[in-house]
Amino acid sequence: MLKPDLVYDPTDPAVRRDPFPLYRRLRDDDPVHWSPVLKSWIVTRYHDIKSVALDPDVSADRLADFYKALPSPTQKVLAEVVRYLSLWVSFRDPPEHRRLRRLMSGAINPKMVQNLRPAVETIVDDLACRLKPGEEIDVISDFAMPLPATVIMDMLGVPREHMREIKHWSDELALFIGSARGVPDKYERARDGMRQIASLFRTLLAQRRAEPRDDLLSSLIAARDEDESLSEDELVAACILVLFGGHETTTNLIGNAVLMMLEHPGQRERLAADPGLIDSAVEEFLRYDGPSNSLCRMVAVDHEIAGKPMRRGDRIFAMLNAGNRDERAFAEPDRLDIGRDPNRHLTFGQGAHFCIGAPLARLEGSLAINALLARFPNMKLTGLEPEWRDAMIMRGMHSLRVRL
């Protein structure tokens, strides 16, 4: 019989700060766990998580049933949010998923990312040059957020002067997408954020149709697949997905990596002495305390996972960060090792839904972390506790105070 205190509750401040001891207990004692708090299944073992990600009996569309079950007034509040989110490739199943992915991949691909490298290097250098040795900064707001946000905005062709308002709108939307639990007005705030972002992109798309440029907006408009193209709503949705996913994940990657380096000085010194380890180090940062805490799926067909009955309509949270610390898949999983090989972490997903932005996140993470190490070898924590975000899907901090 399970111990009564073995319950996954993401609202617990201790769990939000450090979920890994609880993840270990769940892996050992209840790897497919029913959370009465979330009314969802919590899957914590590496191979079970991979199975969920690749399982044809589960669906990426976790919006339709959720939206239908809401009371009519709440549906009205969320109508515009669901209108666009339902068109995100990450919420679609085949065959629509394949179609959207093919069209987006024509514009977003590894070659495009490599062509962006000089621009990313310049942005990293510009941001790092604003920071001065000895000063106290918030790593998140002063570096980890502006870097990917600037890269994504430049890539899309969004004027940089919109940075502050876009960040605000994105934070409002994240309350819904990230599954924040403790914010009572998150639906209204997500609606307002979505309206503003969608309006901005509709204006920019109209401008690009009249006058195409060398940017991602124009490439998405021009994308064709067997004479098919993205509809107006699909274009807006794709732009919002690129903007949101492209900066939220990388902000969390950089912020979490800085904290890991400061809490593991031996590994930090190892990387400083051998910057060529950066690619391996980024993979380990993604594994050890990655920016994506979980992926959410809905059961589409009755079946079992590890002997537990999954009923149609049940919600599953496959805890990526729990699987990345599974001793059944990794030797000494609770040890940070920037030279770890092999390192087949789960952070960017599996199969058809593997993150389309993974190459860009890896590039930005590697350049940003090496730049901070090179410029600020004496960086240290100020003693203030990092402020972790209230989120089920994402794993990151609101603030991380350091002295450079």
* pLDDT confidence tier of residue 179, bands split at 50, 70 and 90: low
Find out whether 382 and 136 touch, Cβ atoms under 8 Å: yes
**Token digits for 175?**
């309350």
Who has greater pLDDT, 216 or 3? 216
Find out whether 177 and 390 touch, Cβ atoms under 8 Å: no
pTM, rounded to two decimals: 0.95
Find out whether 319 and 293 touch, Cβ atoms under 8 Å: yes
- Given a cut of 50, whether residue 2 has pLDDT beyond it is no
Find out whether 258 and 400 touch, Cβ atoms under 8 Å: yes
pLDDT in tens, 101-122: 999 998 888 889 999 999 999 9
Phi-psi category of residue 312: left, alpha or beta, with phi > 0 → left and psi -120 to 50 → alpha = beta
* pLDDT confidence tier of residue 180, bands split at 50, 70 and 90: low
Q: What is the percent of the chain where pLDDT is above 70? A: 98
DSSP string, 130-166: T--TT-EEEHIIIIITHHHHHHHHHHHT--GGGHHHH
Q: What is the mean pLDDT of residues 142-171?
A: 93
- Tell me the C-alpha distance between 248 and 367, whole Å: 17
DSSP string, 45-71: SHHHHHHHHH-TTEES--SHHHHHTS-
Find out whether 338 and 277 touch, Cβ atoms under 8 Å: yes
Side-chain half-sphere CA neighbours of 174 within 13 A: 23
- Given a cut of 70, whether residue 370 has pLDDT beyond it is yes
What DSSP designation does 257 have? H
- Tell me the C-alpha distance between 106 and 60, whole Å: 22
- Tell me the C-alpha distance between 254 and 291, whole Å: 9
- Given a cut of 90, whether residue 239 has pLDDT beyond it is yes
- Tell me the C-alpha distance between 36 and 7, whole Å: 8
* pLDDT confidence tier of residue 1, bands split at 50, 70 and 90: very low
Q: E strands, 72-180, where?
A: 136-138
- Given a cut of 70, whether residue 361 has pLDDT beyond it is yes
Q: What is the pLDDT of residue 390?
A: 85
pLDDT in tens, 263-316: 999 999 999 999 999 999 999 999 999 999 999 999 999 999 999 999 999 999
Give the angle 80-83-89 at the CA atoms, nearest 5°: 135
Q: What is the percent of the chain where pLDDT is above 90? A: 85
Q: What is the pLDDT of residue 183?
A: 75
- Given a cut of 90, whether residue 124 has pLDDT beyond it is yes
pLDDT in tens, 220-235: 999 987 778 999 999 9
Q: Which residue type occupies 330?
A: F
Q: What is the mean pLDDT of residues 355-381?
A: 96
Find out whether 404 and 371 touch, Cβ atoms under 8 Å: no
**Token digits for 189?**
């705030």
Share the mean pLDDT of the chain.
94
**Angle, helix 110-129 to helix 146-156, in steps of 10 degrees:** 130
Q: What is the mean pLDDT of residues 230-243?
A: 95
Q: What is the pLDDT of residue 329?
A: 98
* pLDDT confidence tier of residue 342, bands split at 50, 70 and 90: very high
Q: What is the 3-state secondary structure (H, E, C) of 366-381?
A: HHHHHHHHHHCCCCEE
Q: The domain 68-300+356-403 is classified under which CATH number: 2.60.450.10, 1.20.1270.360, 1.25.40.10, 1.10.630.10?
A: 1.10.630.10
Matching residue, tokens 């809490």: 263
Q: What is the pLDDT of residue 107?
A: 85
- Given a cut of 60, whether residue 3 has pLDDT beyond it is no
- Tell me the C-alpha distance between 327 and 332, whole Å: 7
Q: What is the pLDDT of residue 176?
A: 87
Q: What is the mean pLDDT of residues 370-383?
A: 95
**Token digits for 232?**
């107006």
pLDDT in tens, 50-84: 999 999 999 999 999 999 999 999 999 999 999 99
Strands 380-381 and 32-35: what pairing?
Answer: unpaired
* Cα 315 versus chain centre, distance: 19
